[in-house]
């Protein structure tokens, strides 16, 4: 004994299937957004260049950075192999 769907039932089935095909990839993409990827050691150490910045001088800007901050970042688990 088979089930016969009305025209309205078939239309709802098609719409539901299409919505599922659109929604499932969107949910899967939201599960691992690229902004939450774990940082690499290189990207962590690149933060040294941003702080404290540069000092303007008559000969042009001089880039300064903190050796202590560089040392601190180098000891983070992502750079020391503990991660």
pTM above 0.75, yes or no: no
Residue 65 near residue 31, CB atoms below 8 Å: no
pLDDT at 6: 82
> Using CA atoms, how far apart are residues 26 and 21, in angstroms rounded to an integer?
9
Condensed to tens digits (0 to 9), the pLDDT of residues 10-25 reads 777 777 777 766 666 6
> Using CA atoms, how far apart are residues 27 and 71, in angstroms rounded to an integer?
40
């Amino acid at each position: 004994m088979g089930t016969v769907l009305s025209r309205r039932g078939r239309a709802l089935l098609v719409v539901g299937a299409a919505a599922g095909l659109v929604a499932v990839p969107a949910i899967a993409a939201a599960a691992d957004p690229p902004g939450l990827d774990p940082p690499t050691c290189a990207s962590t150490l690149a933060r040294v260049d941003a702080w404290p910045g540069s000092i303007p001088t008559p000969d042009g800007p001089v880039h300064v950075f903190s050796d202590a901050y560089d040392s601190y970042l180098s000891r983070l688990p992502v750079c020391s192999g503990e991660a």
